[in-house]
Amino acid sequence: MALQITNSLTRKKEPFQPVTPGKVRMYVCGVTVYDYCHVGHGRAYTVFDVIVRWLRHSGYDVTYVRNFTDVDDKIIKRANDRGVEPSMITTQFIDAFHEDMNKLGLVPATIEPKATEHIPEMIEVIQALIKRGHAYASDGDVYFSVASYAPYGKLSKKNLEDLRAGASDRVDPEAKKKKDPADFALWKKAKPEEGVSWKSPWGDGRPGWHIECSAMSRKYLGDGFDIHGGGEDLLFPHHENELAQSEASNGAEFAKTWVHNAFVQMNSEKMSKSIGNVVKIRDMLAEFPGEVFRHFVLNAHYRKPVDFTDETMRQSQDAMVRLYDAMRKANEKLQTHLGHTMRIAPPEGEEFDEAEVFLKTMETRFAEAMDDDFNTSSAMSLLYESARLINRICVRPSLTSGDPPRVPRGEDTVLMELREKTKRLANVLGLLVTEPEIWLTDLLDRGAAASGLSQEEIDAKIEERHAARRRKDFKAADEIRAWLKERGVVLEDKPDGSTHPKRG
Instruction: Give per-residue burial for 268-299: e unless 16+ CB within 10 Å, then b.
Output: eeebeeeeeebbbbeebbebbbbbbbbbbbbb
pLDDT in tens, 29-79: 999 999 999 999 999 999 999 999 999 999 999 999 999 999 999 999 999
> What does pTM read for this prediction?
0.90
Report which secondary-structure segment, H or E, holds 473.
none
Q: Give residue 402's pLDDT.
A: 62
Which pLDDT score, from 0 to 100, does residue 504 have? 40
Q: Is the pLDDT of residue 503 over 50?
A: no
445 vs 182: CA distance, rounded Å: 55
Helix (H, G, I), strand (E, B) or coil at 197: coil
What confidence tier does 336 reach under pLDDT thresholds 50, 70, 90? confident
Q: What is the average pLDDT score of the chain?
A: 91
Q: Tell me the pLDDT band of 456, cut-offs 50, 70 and 90.
A: confident
Q: Is the pLDDT of residue 228 over 70?
A: yes
Q: Which one-letter DSSP state was computed for residue 238?
A: I
Summarize the confidence of residues 327-352 as an average pLDDT.
Answer: 77
Residue 339's pLDDT is what?
65
Task: Give the pLDDT of residue 269.
Answer: 83
pLDDT of residue 482: 84
pLDDT-derived band at 432, boundaries 50, 70, 90: very high
Indicate the range of 111-115, 402-406, 439-443 predicted with least confidence: 402-406
Mention every residue, 6+ apart, whose C-beta is less than 8 A from residue 484.
Answer: 451, 458, 461, 490, 491, 501
What distances in angstroms separate CA 180 from CA 140, 167, 171, 294, one per listed residue?
A: 17, 9, 14, 44
All structural domains of the chain:
4-261 (3.40.50.620), 310-434 (1.20.120.640), 439-503 (no CATH)
| pLDDT tens figures, 293-324 | 999 999 999 999 999 999 999 999 999 999 99
Q: What are the respective helix, strand and coil percentages of the chain, to the nearest 5?
A: 50, 15, 30
Strands 264-266 and 269-270: antiparallel
Count of CB atoms situated within 10 Å of the CB of 374:
26
- Hey, which residues does 42 pair with through a beta bridge? none
Which has the higher per-residue pLDDT, 329 or 497?
329
Per-residue pLDDT of 341-374, as tens digits, reads: 666 556 667 788 899 999 999 999 999 999 999 9
pLDDT of the residue at 55: 98
Percent of the chain's residues with pLDDT above 90:
73
Strands 23-28 and 61-66: parallel
Please tell me the distance from the alpha carbon of residue 393 to that of residue 332, in angstroms, as a whole number: 12
**Per-residue pLDDT tens digits for 411-421:** 788 999 999 99
Question: Checking DSSP bridges between strand 205-207 and strand 184-189, what pairing results, if any?
Answer: antiparallel
Per-residue pLDDT reduced to its tens digit, 12-26: 999 999 999 999 999
Residue pLDDT, tens place only, 165-212: 777 767 677 888 999 999 999 999 999 999 999 999 999 999 999 999
Q: Could you read off the pLDDT of 135-165 as tens digits, one per residue?
A: 999 999 999 999 999 999 999 999 988 888 7
Residue 273: what pLDDT? 74
pLDDT of residue 445: 80
**pLDDT of 255-296, one tens digit each?**
999 999 999 998 888 887 777 789 999 999 999 999 999 999
- pLDDT of the residue at 340: 67
Select from 110, 62, 74, 144 the least CA-distant residue to 216.
110
Pairing of strands 12-15, 4-7: antiparallel
High-pLDDT (> 70) share of the chain, %: 91
Give the DSSP per-residue string, 202-220: T-SEEE-HHHHHHHHHHHH
